[in-house]
Structure 1
Amino acid sequence: MGKTPGQKAARVKGFKMSESEILRKIAVIFVTDVVGFSTLMAQNEELTLRSFRSCKEILDNLFEEHSGRIFNTAGDSVLAEFPSAVSAVICAVEFQKLIKARNASVPNAAQMQFRIGLNMGDVIIEGTNLYGDGVNVAARLEALSQAGGVCLSKSIHDFVSQKVDLGFQDIGAQQVKNTNVHAFDVSIGGLAPRQIAPTPPAIEPVEAGAPPSIAVLPFKNMSTDAEQEYFADGVTEDIISHLALWKTFPVVSRNSSFSVKGLSLTASEISDKLNARYLVEGSIRKAGNKVRISASLTDALKDRTIWSERWDRPLDDIFEVQDEISIAVARAIDPEIRRQSRENTELSKPESLTAWDLYLQALQKYHRRDAPEGILSLCDQAIQASVNFLDPYLLKCKVLLRERFKPHNRERRAELSAQIFEIASYVVGKEASNAGALAMMASYYFQLNDLDNARHYAHEAFGINPNNSAATRALSLTEAYAGNIELAYDYFLKTQALDPSEWREWPQFEVSLLMVLGRMNEALDKITRAVENDPENNLLLGFKVAALGNLDRLADAQQGLEAFLQLRPDVTSLADYAPLLPDFVVEAVLQGMQKAGLKQ
């Protein structure tokens, strides 16, 4: 994973938390112990200790190789932290393989087996030791692991599954010592895949003030071929997975949703059974090489359909169609529920507003570009009402990021960047796979001109949720500064499709990309409209002058340059102007400004 500065300790300010002075960080935790150690000690204490020291030496060497750090031991238990989830998984698998090889070369009495648990999460720093949920969950996973196996949390699996050449078995939601965790086994040669019944999903009452829950009901197979049921179920499961990526709305689990399959229940009855206000329903009709998929979104409380769509597709690649439709449904539903919820919030009395209502009001003010103080105040109220509701934290980051780019906040940029880092770090600590928070971490490092770490976090965010507009925006920026202009423009267009407001604060970015790509007429058209909307913005005017110069419209360019220099009397030469420009567009802009008449 490269550098992981997001794992640095951060003091979280601005939140009403009793442990506001406690140092925290995100860490990858490795926990292991010997299977049946007490029994082995009782049988032959001296031999057991010699064997353990031999195995511990193997582990120490691997820790040194993969940058692991032991922070605690207790008898046969070893607890370590890693800077990288990938390194921790590789180290764990190599250790089990080396222990297996050692066992094959020693007498039975000297053989040992280990269990390993891996987790990534929020931990508390106390000197050289670590405590907290991140450590506790790793210990629970270690207890769940097979002898000779590696058991890891979903947060680890989601980061490493596409980066290592290993197989994983999803063993589902498990409850170990009162801790619920979604666990995965690493497939290791010699270990048979195990079948563990997932802990039955508890359908709990929805917390007051929480965002409304959504259930994706099994899509109906309308084909004459009953064997096509797998396709309908696959689309349903994919929609559940894609919706869950947004993190805002609680999505009823697959097991719970499929529990109503085949039952004749009304929308209201299903809503009550699953504790879900919104229901996604659909049907699939497959005939020959074509498929028709219909989907709808129902507000069960009001018993009315608020959105529906239909797709007709050729089945050249059944899995590609499945992905396309499931992503399309998830994309459409997320904003539709937000819009519907905002309408409901506008009808609420102020004294009855919940965390969700307060967040929606803040979001509306953000999109209207209201004063930041009011938006931040509503976010803080939402946080106070429900500290575990993470969207208000991310909205605060967006507000602070917007403020950071405003010229009058030039002197406050370091302060605003620090606040963004603290909030984003807090959210990542609470939920390591939150794409929005990882995208904000990318923005933070981008502001520090740390391109390597900015790209790292941008790609992590995109890998978790490729339809998160903050993630695609971060990728567009970082790829542009890395010199990958065509790729940056692709991500720009994807962001524009997901949320056009992401670029409203920086219209010259698209213009910069178009200029470097040689699409000068399009660049001039875009920047002309931007200048019309903000005629006193000298930065925009400078880009317009450059575009005119590059198109050899010299009379217009010279006239624009005169206006620009009146707004920026400190710029008297190309050398003065160059430091004000993004690195990747310097050459194209200076070429146009030189044609317009700006001196060397």
Structure 2
Amino acid sequence: MDRKLAAILAADVVGYSTLMEQDEEGTFERLRAGRKELFEPEIARHHGRIFKLMGDGLLAEFASVVDAVECAVALQRGLAERNASFPEEEGINVRIGVNLGEVIVEGDDFYGEGVNIAARLEQMAEPGGVYVSGKVAKEVEKKLSFGFEPMGEHLMKNMDEPVPVYRIKLLGVPKIRSRRRRGKPYMPWAAAAAVALLAFAGGGWLYFDLFATPAATGVPSIAVLAFDNMSDDPKLDYFSDGVSEDIIAGLARSPDLSVIARNSSFTYKGKPTDVRQIGKDLNVSYVLEGSVRKEADRVRIVAQLINTKTGAHVWAERFDQSGDNPMALQDAVTEKIVGALASETGQIKRSWYGEAWSKNAASLEEYDYYLRGHDKLLQYTPETTEEASRTTAEGMAKFPESALLKFNMGFISYVRGVNGWSQDPHDDLGKVPELGRQGMASDNLSPLERKLGHWLLAYASLVERDFRNAMREAEAAIALAPNDAFMRAVLVDAAIGAGDTESAIAWTNFGMRNDPANKEFYSYLQGWALMSGERYEESLKVMKELSNSFAAIPLVKAINAVNLGNLDEAKNNITTALELDPSWTAKKWRAITFVEEKVLDRQVSDLVKAGLPER
């Protein structure tokens, strides 16, 4: 039985039964909108994970108690803002409890005293309030600016010792007033009967799963076997097992993958393995196996990915790391392995791109069209972008309600617009928010679709020049797939728009470290971010080795040169840019560059000074 320390957040809707009785359809729609637009992205943004769902509530786990408390406060403030747009009696109010304690881990679920206390704290809280245990208050009181009001010690069910309870002082959140019954008719009896029949289906009571997080469908599946300990010391089995478990945990956070739990994949430890049989036993597409050799302050890990249908090796790599901290060694290597496998440009996605192209067009499903279109889009040329558009349009004609394909078309429109590859940039960029919101409004989004949706909405917010929201959406996407090196690096656009140069540097460094095949592209993005942050010498240093493979590179170099007093070099860069793409003008730069107005004005002035035509 595994145990660990975790911060647990418990939340439930106040007066759920009464709300449903008064206006079942309206309540359901408001709660569902709150889940999609507030709860899921806010919990993801604070690095949390929903692990249990109830009809009117949820339980979420956080590695950091600071993140858990900040999330609880953000949820209550977000609900207060949402309620301001509804009549008082239609507002949705929630109680929240947060506890820090030991939990029992069973698969993806948690049990035990740590969870029970969080649930009891939630029950004690007033509507719109957040109650925390004494452990939580002590841990965060010097790290956060919130005030904590002591509510005394409370003896809780099945506990021998009383628990100190504190209420967070939520400044700026309006108090909840008593409700008045609306004079609104109940739902028609036929609809009520239909709901009752659905609720009783299957021989047991089911309820509206308002916080449901459906599993991804159609995505590749993988089993990570226990890595072999190749060290001289057999006692180092713990280290090789730890590496395997870390890889499982890292891959499991990818919405693009379905990952078999440790308890299933470790049953093959120490036994002769036939990956084709494992594929049948566990119903997985791929097996990852490998070995670990640790000697003093060095660790070498060899990993190989195998297709269980064919037995063919898809990918193999050796990773070396040095250092005197065993856990840091383990973290550094597993981060690289997960990045190599699970990102948009990772080995598993590449393998599935190939499989999608090998299929007969008549047999293509929704996910196949997505893979084909995305593969062409990632090749990042005007020609392959148009191929991506045609393939995705074919899929949308066959699957018109597909959120997956709407998101993909939104990315295509954004790439066309910001790279100047569009006949009508205004039209293409205008489609980005439209397609993003249409897709996110779909029911039962998979984890992959939610990741893509937040990613696209980050770009949509840039197009609308809402830079603060662009950063929020980018962080929500990254929280849903923290090991996706490609996505994190290209979301640098949001950080640049928000003026957050430090995040831009961190995200592009993560990309260069874990996706070295695209290092040159990520170097360009970092150079762009440094230039936008007026760090011209640093930008010049990053970009000086880059070849001028597309016009934006010499344009950024020109801005650097102007600000470093080298006007001749700036003019030469403008000449190079116009040779690559004669359509560039200051007007075009202004239309497709999404930064604060004063930053944009400065960039345009520098480009004109270097010789770029104004129109």
Q: TM-score range by the shorter chain?
A: 0.5 to 0.7
| Among 252, 255, 263, the residue aligned to 1:244 | 252
> Whole-Å Cα distance in 2 between the matches of residues 393 and 288 of structure 1?
52
Q: Which residue of 2 aligns with 1:466?
A: 482
- 1:167 corresponds in structure 2 to 100
What's the counterpart of residue 535 of structure 2? 517
CA distance in 2, matches of 1:568, 1:137: 52
For residues 456-502 of structure 1, give each alpha carbon's deviation from its aligned partner in whole angstroms, at most 9, with x where no partner exists: 22222223333324652465233323333344234234345648879
Mapped to 2, the partners of 1:84 and 1:235 lie a distance apart of: 35
- Amino acid of the structure 2 residue aligned with 1:401: Y
The DSSP-based 3-state class of the residue aligned with 2:258 is: coil
Give the secondary-structure state (helix, strand or coil) at the position aligned to 1:302. Answer: coil
Q: Does 1:529 align with 2:548?
A: yes
Secondary structure, in 3 states, of the residue corresponding to 1:307?
A: strand
The equivalent of 1:186 in structure 2 is: 115
Q: Name the count of aligned residue pairs.
A: 454
- Asked whether the equivalents of residues 485 and 511 of structure 2 are also in contact (C-alpha less than 8 Å), the reply is yes
Change (3 A) 1:308 1:84: same
Label 1:452 to 1:231 Cα distance change in 2 as closer, same or farther (>3 A): same
TM-score (norm 2): 0.59
Letter in 2 for 1:138: M
Contact 2:229–2:240 at 8 Å: present in 1 too? Answer: yes
Q: Counterpart of 1:341? A: 352
Q: Is the 8 A contact 1:211 1:248 kept in 2?
A: yes
- Other-structure match for 1:148: none
Which residue of structure 1 lines up, in the alignment, with residue 279 of structure 2? Answer: 271
The match for 1:403 among 416, 422, 426 is: 416
Shift of 1:548: 4.6
- The structure that has the greater radius of gyration is 1
Cα 1:192–1:589, aligned 2, differ >3 Å: closer, same or farther?
farther
Change (3 A) 1:583 1:187: farther
Residue 363 of structure 1: aligned partner: 374
Alignment correspondent of 1:72: 19
Question: 1:304 matched to which residue of 2?
Answer: 312
Instruction: Give 1:280 deviation, angstroms.
Output: 0.6
Letter in 1 for 2:536: G
User: Map of 1:118-197 to 2, 5 A cutoff?
Assistant: 137-139=53-55, 152-153=59-60, 161=68, 163=70, 166-167=99-100, 182=109, 186=115, 188=117
Gaps of 5+ in 2: 1-8, 72-97, 118-132, 134-155, 160-214
1:429 and 1:401 map into 2 onto residues whose CA distance is 22
Deviation per CA, 1:506-563: give whole Å up to 9, x if none. 9788446347212264588589825xx45xxxx8776565445445444565688899
Q: Is the 8 A contact 1:514 1:523 kept in 2?
A: no
Distance in 2 separating the partners of 1:548 and 1:582: 21
Moved more, 486-495 or 273-282: 486-495
Partner of 1:110: none
Q: Contact (CA 8 Å) 1:401, 1:417: kept in 2 or not? A: no
Partner of 1:281: 289
1:240-276 CA deviation, whole Å, 9 max, x = no partner?
A: 1211222223211222212333443422222211111
Unpaired segments ≥5 residues, structure 1: 1-27, 33-58, 61-68, 90-117, 122-135, 143-150, 175-180, 194-206
- Retained in 2: the 8 A contact 1:507–1:527? yes
Structure 1 residues 253 and 71: alpha-carbon distance in aligned structure 2, compared to 1, 3 A threshold: farther
* Amino acid corresponding to residue 72 of structure 1 in structure 2: L
- Give the % identical residues: 19
Contact 1:214–1:280 (CA under 8 A) maintained in structure 2: yes
The 10-residue stretch of structure 1 (409-418 or 470-479) with the greater mean CA deviation from structure 2 = 470-479
Cα displacement (A) at 1:395: 2.6
Say if 1:324 and 1:398 are closer, same or farther in 2 by CA, change over 3 A: same
Alpha-carbon separation, structure 2, partners of 1:235 and 1:301: 26
Q: Is the 8 A contact 2:243 2:334 kept in 1?
A: yes
What is the CA–CA distance in structure 1 between the aligned matches of 2:349 and 2:601, rounded to whole Å?
40
- Tell me how far apart the structure 2 counterparts of residues 432 and 481 of structure 1 sit (CA, whole Å): 25
In 1, the alpha carbon distance for the partners of 2:316 and 2:375 equals 24
Deviating more after overlay: 546-555 vs 225-234:
546-555
Shift of 1:216: 0.4
Determine which of 231, 251, 268 is the counterpart of 1:260: 268
Amino acid at match of 1:462: I
Q: Helix, strand or coil: the match of 1:186? A: helix
Distance 1:280 1:71, change over 3 A: farther
Letter paired with 1:327: E
**Corresponding position of 2:222:** 214
| Partners of 1:295 and 1:309 within 8 A in 2 | yes
Question: Aligned partners of 2:219 and 2:590: how far apart in 1?
Answer: 53
